[in-house]
Amino acid sequence: MIPVEEARDIILSHIDRLPKEKVVLDSVLGRYLAEDIVSNRDIPPWDNSAMDGYALHHGDIKSPKTRLRVVYDLPAGLSPQGSVESGEAVRIMTGAPIPPGLDAVVKREDTIESPDEVVVLKIPQRGENIRYKGEDIREGDVVLSRGDHIGPAQVGILASLQRLSVYCYQMPIVAILSTGDELIEIDEELSPGRMVTSNSYTLISLVRLSGGIPLYLGISKDNKEDLQGCLFAAKRADLILTSGGVSVGDYDIVKDVMSLEANHMEFWQVEMKPGKPLAFGDIQGIPTIGLPGNPVSSMISFYQFARPAILKMMGARNLLLPRVVARIKSPIRKKPDRRHYIRGVLEKDGPCFAVSPTGPQGSGILSSMSKANCLIVIPKDKGFISEGEMVECEVIQTSWE
């Protein structure tokens, strides 16, 4: 067995970033940039009002209740109609350009209005309620960098720069194959001794959530010929994920196929629970991660190894799950033999976090995984965690009540 970090490093050393491709703006959400984005303009492009109110000369307002003559209205989208003299003001809307020479905007609620005059009730600061040219972005700024994840705010920046398309790294095609004579598809009739291939659909969902494109290969029987036949369809994939067939049973043949002919197995078994029987190598020259067959083991192994591989292919810089430290609400006892990943519920506890195990932790109990929003990480050499002790948690669900 090898440590988790060593296993992950080996896998990532065999993973290459995919080539870039041009992506139109309405399809870039969730992708990773393959170019630096340099602004071709100032944003905002001119000084403009941050409020509905009155643009004026700051020096005109010596005391509250100063009266000014309103010379014209300026809605957003129109240009100033002319110069504004001392003792005058412009009724201005949010986003409208500031007329030349004016240096403050008083909010409408801080005035008494009439059609041709305004009484200013509050002395403004110079520059108050003005958004200045280039205060957000200046021409020539690198506003987004290669490897940045594109979220809604980044899409907004690209739109403001009128970028119709950008270069992003390609999304990896991830082949998914479940193994086992006992498995059936979800539309087949269930009979004694048979099980629905839930792992297949869990992995499809995890691949999509990570940004990859799942290529479902179905179910392989527990023999080398059928397994190799199923894997032949993976030849256009960038990564292969198998589920099951990597333990020590007579029918656990995935690791055997990795060692056939031109295939290669780099390692087998990792110091973690659940997820010990994990294999990595290549099949047909394609990086292949042999995940355990137990549902929870498969998911946790995916988070530790497959997700980082997919993210690296997509050009991401941050490959690991977010981590927080939390106070544990109940004691945990384990053997000091491997790192343990305990399914947990993370919640706010004042200014900090608290965490509780979700319940039974068997590697086949998927319901306890469905209740979890984090994995409590218990180091290899720790045999007992007392109530109230601080533990590290890997966040797997960022929205929770």
One DSSP character per residue, 156-210 reads HHHHHTT-SEEEEEPPPEEEEEEE-TTEE-TTSPP-TT-EE-HHHHHHHHHHHHH
- pLDDT given for residue 252 in this prediction: 67
Where in the chain is CATH 3.90.105.10?
20-42+137-169
Q: How far apart are CA 166 and CA 36, in angstroms?
A: 10
pTM of the model: 0.90
- Give CA separation, 50 vs 103, 108, 311, in Å: 12, 12, 40
Q: What is the C-alpha radius of gyration for the chain, rounded to an integer number of angstroms? A: 30
With beta carbons less than 8 A apart as the criterion, state whether 127 and 55 touch.
Answer: no
Which residue intervals of the chain bear CATH 2.40.340.10? 323-395
Give me the CATH topology for the region 4-17+171-313. Molybdenum Cofactor Biosythetic Enzyme; Chain A (3.40.980)
Token duo for residue 268: 């087998």
Residue 249, pLDDT score: 60
The secondary element (H helix, E strand) that includes residue 295 is helix 295-301
CA 126 to chain centre: 41
Q: Where in the chain is the domain with CATH 3.40.980.10?
A: 4-17+171-313
How do strand 279-283 and strand 264-268 relate by DSSP bridges?
antiparallel
> What is the spatial distance between Cα 104 and Cα 121, in angstroms, rounded to a whole number?
14
Around 22, how many Cα atoms within 13 Å sit in the side-chain half-sphere? 3
Residue with tokens 């209005």, as numbered in its chain? 113
Where in the chain are all domains bearing CATH 2.170.190.11? 48-131
How far apart are the C-alpha atoms of 379 and 398, rounded to whole Å? 23
* Residue 27 burial by Cβ neighbours in a 10 Å radius (0-12, 13-18, 19+): exposed
CA distance 45 to 346: 44
Residue 70 belongs to what H/E stretch?
strand 66-74
C-beta neighbour count of 311 within 10 angstroms: 22
Question: What kind and span of H or E run contains 230?
Answer: helix 224-232
CB 26 within 8 A of CB 109: no
CATH superfamily of domain region 48-131:
Molybdopterin biosynthesis moea protein, domain 3. (2.170.190.11)
Number of H helices, E strands in the chain: 8, 28
The pLDDT tens digits along the chain (401 residues) read 999 999 999 999 999 999 999 999 999 999 999 999 999 999 999 999 999 999 999 999 999 999 999 999 999 999 999 899 999 999 999 999 999 999 999 999 999 999 999 999 999 999 999 999 999 999 999 999 999 999 999 999 999 999 999 999 999 999 999 998 888 888 888 889 888 889 999 999 999 999 999 999 999 988 888 888 888 889 999 999 999 877 666 556 788 888 887 889 999 999 999 999 999 999 989 999 999 999 999 999 999 999 999 999 999 999 999 999 999 999 999 999 999 999 999 999 899 999 999 988 888 899 999 999 999 999 999 999 999 999 999 999 876 55
If one looks up domain 323-395 in CATH, what number appears? 2.40.340.10
Q: Which residue is listed with tokens 């068997």?
A: 362
Which CATH entry fits the domain spanning 20-42+137-169: 3.90.105.10, 3.30.70.3420, 3.90.550.10, 3.40.190.150? 3.90.105.10
